[in-house]
Amino acid sequence: MVAVGTMVWLSSELMFFAALFAFYFTLRGHEPAMWAERTDLLNIPFATANTLILVISSVWCQLGVWQAEKGRPGRPAGASLFAFKQWGMREWYVLTYIFGAIFIAGQVYEYAHLVAEGVTLGSDAYGSVFYLTTGFHGLHVSGGLIAFLLIIGRTFTTRRYSHAQATGAVVTSYYWHFVDVVWIALFLMIYVLR
């Protein structure tokens, strides 16, 4: 039931982001000259690298899911941290968390650059829609990072790793993969379709 409920909830989130996409394309259609000018301020190589970081984090997340499904919350006692084949869900989720946090730091860096260039939330239609779409996505990524901390923390508070805990890890991965796919669409919309 938790997995089904999560999928239903993610469907509503999909509608939310679809509205933001519609908002973006509507404003872009009415202000093509502004879009041409403002998109020149975007740092495409940096955004591409930041996108790659988020995409790779989904790979780490899925590796963690596979370990959770095997009932392996962490690496065996005494196993080296560098013995990647012995990693459990916890280690893969910590790595996912780190990559997600790097992605958020990259977004903050990009925002600082754009604000220095005069693109703010209230500067014009482009600034408004750019910060709304990427900002709401950033909030979703931050929510996912909090979820990872909760899932990782649960592995330290129980004596036996149960099916319910594995389900929590799987459901968190659904959310993370959703956030990843939404970002890929946003990246294509904002950075590629010029």
- Give the pLDDT confidence of 122-134 residue by residue, as tens digits: 999 999 999 999 9
pLDDT in the model for residue 2: 65
3-class SS at 41? Answer: coil
CA distance 33 to 183: 25
Query: How many whole angstroms from its chain centre is CA 139?
Result: 9
How many domains does the chain contain in total?
Answer: 1
Q: State the chain's maximal CA–CA distance in angstroms.
A: 62
CATH number at residue 9: 1.20.120.80
Question: Residues 65-111: pLDDT tens digits?
Answer: 999 999 898 888 888 888 889 999 999 999 999 999 999 999 999 99
Question: Residues 114-169: pLDDT tens digits?
Answer: 999 999 999 999 999 999 999 999 999 999 999 999 999 988 887 787 777 888 89
Domain that holds residue 173: 2-192
